[in-house]
């Protein structure tokens, strides 16, 4: 049982160290933004975050609504 705990802790420690090395070796020393709207590839494909897509859909639906037809 103790061997399994030591193995798991060693694996977690190795992962932590590897993440720290990436931060230290990276140019600005930090990870880039993981937000969808700041990802260039997703912007090229027209993918936005759910909040932005919902806002755009509501705006389009409001523009299509003709008050005279009500």
In a domain, 47, yes or no: yes
Instruction: Give Cα separations from 28 to 22, 43, 46, 62, 67 (angstroms).
Output: 11, 23, 28, 44, 54
In a domain, 18, yes or no: no
Give 41-62 pLDDT, tens digit per residue.
Answer: 787 887 778 887 888 888 887 7
Two tokens, residue 11: 């694996």
Give 21-46 pLDDT, tens digit per residue.
Answer: 877 777 666 666 667 777 777 878 87
What is the predicted pLDDT for the residue at 11? 97
What is the predicted pLDDT for the residue at 69? 64
List Cβ neighbours of 6 (8 Å cut-off, separation of 6 or more).
none
Rg (CA), the chain: 23
In a domain, 39, yes or no: yes
Number of domains in the chain: 1
In a domain, 16, yes or no: no
What is the predicted pLDDT for the residue at 38? 77
pLDDT above 90 as % of the chain: 20
What is the predicted pLDDT for the residue at 57? 84
């Amino acid at each position: 049982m103790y061997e399994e705990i030591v193995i798991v802790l060693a694996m977690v420690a190795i992962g932590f160290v590897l993440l720290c090395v990436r931060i230290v070796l990276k140019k600005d020393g930090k990870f880039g933004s993981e937000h969808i709207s700041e990802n260039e590839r997703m912007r090229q494909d027209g993918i936005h975050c759910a909040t932005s897509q919902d806002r755009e859909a509501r705006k389009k639906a409001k523009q299509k609504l003709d008050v005279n037809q009500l």
